[in-house]
Amino acid sequence: MSRGAPEMVLQVGEPMLPERIGDLTGLGEFGVAGELIAAFLAAFIVGNLMLAMTGLAGPWAKRKITAAFTDRIAVNQIGPAGVGIIVADAVRLLSKENIIPENVDRPAYDVAPIVVASSAMLGFAVIPMGTGIQLADPEVGLAYVFAVSGIASLGLVMAGYASSNKYSLLGGLRAVAQNIAYEIPLVVTGMSVVLFAGSLQMSTIVEAQSQALIDLGVVSIPQWYALVNPFAFVLFLIANFAEVGRNPFDTPEAPTEIVAGYQTEYSSVYFVLIYLGEFLHIFLGGAIIATIFLGGPAGPGPAFLGIVWFLLKIWGVFMMTQWLRSAVPRVRIDQLIEIGWKGLLVLSFANLLLTAIIVGLIA
């Protein structure tokens, strides 16, 4: 942050991405149809940006990071540093035969991968990714994100049950037990941020974090809620890793116990969709963390760099999931449930009450 008044990256009431595109292309003059096309274009850009992120993360970055942890080189043959593997893997996976086991429940088995992939995409609608790069800014922003990210559990339990496989069934049940155990700590901890900001609207939450917390003369430290309330930040991080099913909480797909959990019977494009949904979910979790705890697109430099800072923050969260994947052992299913209900739930309520008292005393 530069000296003096911190630059406002985001202001409440700024035009959203659909309006900007409408103005830029002149589509806004064509009435409702133009507005719809502009909104579709904006959604297309945001959707494909996140698709590109997962494309980079899944086949390439994940391999490279794991390789760095285990002292290997990993993919390095196609293109610079092996990034061509993304295209090669996409073609390879999509051209695989789609083997559909004989006992599956047909409509649910086919719908589940779509539910998993598109539910994660929906959450990005309200995330401010930079100056004006936000699809919509409804007043219920934060509640909306929590609500749509919860839909994925439905897809996972559908996949698990419809696969007609014992491993899948157990994986699907574990996924839903885990999601419901960590949903409450996640939402209650997110609520402690709402106590500070006084709003569920994403742009208001980001703007509330743009004030200086401490002014050190040369630099001023912004009032990011991760710095204001580090306890809530740590709780939210842990609950988020459990919510997206990453290590040490990847019990639903524990390969040493239940093969691949709910995705055991999925192959070809269906597997790609479930995999895509998982990565989108990691990034959605990162986007929520960046928005409500790390100042969203805020950072040093001019405002148009907001998107860069935002992407750096969500990649930071992704890197952390990969670090935990290489470094932390998995918890057992009974430990997982007990950590959620006996540990995080109690701590998150303690955090909420403490935050309420502190906000009440300061104000």
Helix (H, G, I), strand (E, B) or coil at 215: strand
3 state SS of 208: helix
Residue at 362: amino acid letter: I
Which run of H or of E encompasses 48?
Answer: helix 31-56
279 part of the interface to another protein, by CB under 8 A: no
Question: 319 to 338, contacts with another protein by CB under 8 A?
Answer: 333-334, 337-338
Identified binder of another protein from the candidate list 2, 103, 211, 326, rule CB under 8 A: 103
Closer to another protein at the Cβ: 181 or 226?
A: 181
**Burial 275-308, CB ≥16 within 10 A → b, else e:** bbbbbbbbbbbbbbbbbbbbbbbbbeeebebbbe
The C-alpha atoms of residue 26 and residue 19 are separated, in whole angstroms, by: 10
DSSP state of 59: I
Provide the H-helix boundaries in 198-248. 202-208, 225-228, 230-243
Burial of 267 (0-12, 13-18, 19+ CB in 10 A): middle
Residue located via tokens 């909104």: 39
The answer to whether 232 contacts another protein (rule: CB under 8 A) is no
Residues 193-212 that bind another protein (CB under 8 A): 194-200
Could you say whether residue 359 binds another protein (CB under 8 A)?
Answer: yes
Residues 73-92 that bind another protein (CB under 8 A): 91
- Residue 163 CB neighbour total at 10 angstroms: 26
Nearest distance from C-beta of residue 136 to another protein, angstroms? 4
Residue (2 or 98) nearer to another protein, CB: 98
Segment interacting with another protein, rule: CB under 8 A, options 55-63, 65-73, 181-189, 312-320: 181-189
Nearer to another protein, 168 or 321 (CB): 168
129: contact with another protein by CB under 8 A = no
Among 5, 68, 69, 98, binds another protein (CB under 8 A): 98
HSE toward the beta carbon, residue 103, CA cutoff 13 A: 7
Q: Per-residue string for binding with another protein, 287-326, x by CB under 8 A? A: ----------------------------------------
Q: Output the smallest distance, CB 362 to another protein, in A.
A: 9
Segment 142 to 161, residues that bind another protein, using CB under 8 A: 143-144
Shortest CB 76 distance to another protein, Å: 27
Q: Which of 25, 66, 76, 164 forms a contact with another protein (CB under 8 A)? A: 164
Nearest CA-CA partner of 153 in 127, 133, 173, 131:
173
Residues 11-30 within binding reach of another protein (CB under 8 A): 16-19, 22
Report the nearest approach of another protein to the CB of residue 87 (Å). Answer: 13
Instruction: Let me know: does 27 contact 53? Beta carbons within 8 Å.
Output: no
If one asks whether residue 95 binds another protein (CB under 8 A), the answer comes out as yes
Cβ 29 to another protein, closest distance in Å? 13
Q: Nearest approach, Cβ of 123 to another protein (angstroms)?
A: 9
226 lies in the binding site for another protein (CB under 8 A): no
Closest by CA position to 130, among listed 269, 297, 321, 323: 297
* Nearby residues of 123 by Cβ (< 8 Å), 6 or more positions away: 144, 145, 148, 149, 284, 287, 288
**d(C-alpha 162, C-alpha 107), whole Å:** 9
Q: Going by DSSP bridges, is the β-strand pair 220-222/212-215 parallel, antiparallel, or unpaired? A: antiparallel
Smallest gap from Cβ 265 to another protein, in A, equals 6
Chain positions 240 to 269 lying near another protein, rule: CB under 8 A, are 259, 264-265, 268-269
Among 74, 88, 154, 184, contact with another protein (rule: CB under 8 A): 184
The residues with which 222 forms a beta bridge, in sequence order, are: 212
